[in-house]
Amino acid sequence: MSEEPPVHASSPVVTPQVVETRVRVKGTGWKWFWIALIVCFLGGCATLLLVVGELGQNLRSMLDGMETNSGNHTYYDASGDFMEVVLRWDKKEDTSNKILLIDVSGVIYDTGNRYASKMSISPGLIEKQLKKAGEDSKVRAVILRVDSPGGEAFACDLIAAQIQKFHKTCNKPVVAWINSMGASGGYYVSAPCQWVVAHEMSVVGSIGVISSSYNYRELLDKVGVKPMVYKSGRLKDMMSPTRKEEDITSDEKAMMQNLIDKMFARFKNVVKEGRAQESRKELEGARSLAENWEEYADGRILLGNEAYQVGMVDELGGEEEAIAAAQRLAKIDRSRLVQYQMPMDWLGFLRFFSETHSRKVEVSLNGLELNSTVQIEPGKVYFLPPVQ
């Protein structure tokens, strides 16, 4: 009997199958849709905040109008280009007389931007405030709160001329209240005022003009950079920082010094005429410049009590003394202290975010720390404290 070999079941043969996979490429359209949606949401929130803020200000104005108790209140009166804010108002002694407070805080220079009031002292902005004060018969006097180390010569001269014009055309006194510092250009804009008040420890004076620059030609030579200059006249590159020092002629130096001397003479003339103006002669207690006052016009810095002795300041004190002086000069007994502020409308909102600030730097000039909001531009002359 023959045995048949065992039969083993064959393993199932798996036939490989081709699985078709499709990679689904997600389009970018949805991404931009969500980005646009988020931007619209944020814009809507910003608009809502502005509307709520405006409603809040109006509501606050209504509530302040209904209050009868005394004390300091803030009252909003939005009209024209400015929003009037009442800083001090004792309602027990209600009066329609107003004294306008204008801030001159920081380095003085002309930005050409009406929305830069918190960053700089713009002559255009101060001119608009003085114009509004002149048109308002209830504004009886102006207080210029000065806290400035100086600034651009052109801007300082514009502000000084605006103060002189305002007093002559509107017959309203302007009081300069020098807070912590009224040096150089800060005193330039204070001198034309009818009365100057300063604290005994305020920094006052620094009458002088300065123009400085750097020559980095030797540095360029070291790194192999050679400036190529094409000019129409021999003096066209007179202030160029890339010229060799030996190429700067004595005539060019004399021309620059002559320019500085003329501006310095104008500075002293503004101080002399401002302290000797006719409207001050009838004021009781007004101090005249000392005979040797020009000896102190060499760029030196004085404290408030020293400036008082020289005749650059009429009274030692602070805010209370400045308000009392403004009332006395305006011949009124009571007043509200008001301030103009620029409302943030949509135009200002868009301009604020669309501006470029390409030349703003942090520098220390003659020991004066200037933050990034200050623009010190080449080719301009500045009234700033001298090197001590």
Domains and CATH numbers, the chain: 72-208+249-383 (3.90.226.10)
CA torsion through residues 310, 141, 338, 132, sign: negative
Distance CA 175, CA 143 (A): 5
CB proximity list for 312: less than 8 A, separation 6 or greater: 187, 191, 196, 204, 205, 271, 275, 289, 293, 296, 302
Name the amino acid, one letter, at 196: V
Nearest to 205 by CA among 275, 256, 142: 275
Nearest to 199 by CA among 147, 267, 271: 147
Average pLDDT on 69-89 reads 61
Retrieve residue 77's tokens: 């009166």
Instruction: Determine whether 184 is an active site residue.
Output: yes
List 118, 236, 244, 262, catalytic entry: 236
DSSP reduced 3-state for 39: helix
Does the pLDDT value for residue 144 go beyond 90?
Answer: yes
Percent pLDDT > 90 in the chain is 41
Distance CA 30, CA 156 (A): 55
Query: Which residue would you say has higher pLDDT here, 88 or 360?
Result: 88
Average pLDDT on 180-191 reads 94
* CB 296, CB 242: distance < 8 Å: no
> 179-200 burial, b if ≥16 CB within 10 A, otherwise e?
bbbbbbbbbbbbbbbbbbbbbe
Average pLDDT on 200-208 reads 93
* CB 297, CB 268: distance < 8 Å: yes
Percent pLDDT > 70 in the chain is 68
CA 124 remoteness from chain centre? 11
What are the residue ranges of helices labelled H in the chain?
Answer: 29-66, 123-135, 153-170, 185-188, 217-223, 250-275, 278-281, 304-310, 319-330, 346-354
Pairing of strands 174-183, 203-205: parallel
Distance CA 174, CA 370 (A): 28
Query: Which residue would you say has higher pLDDT here, 213 or 144?
Result: 144
331: left (phi > 0), else alpha (psi -120 to 50), else beta? left
List 117, 122, 148, 184, catalytic entry: 184
Does the pLDDT value for residue 116 go beyond 50?
Answer: no
Average pLDDT on 252-262 reads 92
CA distances (Å), 147 to each of 41, 152, 171, 355, in order?
A: 42, 15, 25, 27
By mean pLDDT, which of 71-80, 103-112, 156-165, 180-189 is the weakest? Answer: 71-80
Average pLDDT on 91-95 reads 63
* CB 178, CB 199: distance < 8 Å: yes
Distance CA 57, CA 376 (A): 37
At residue 1, the pLDDT reads 52
CA dihedral 263, 266, 271, 275 (to 10 degrees): 180
Q: How does residue 69 score in pLDDT terms, banded at 50, 70 and 90?
A: very low
Give the DSSP letter of residue 108. B
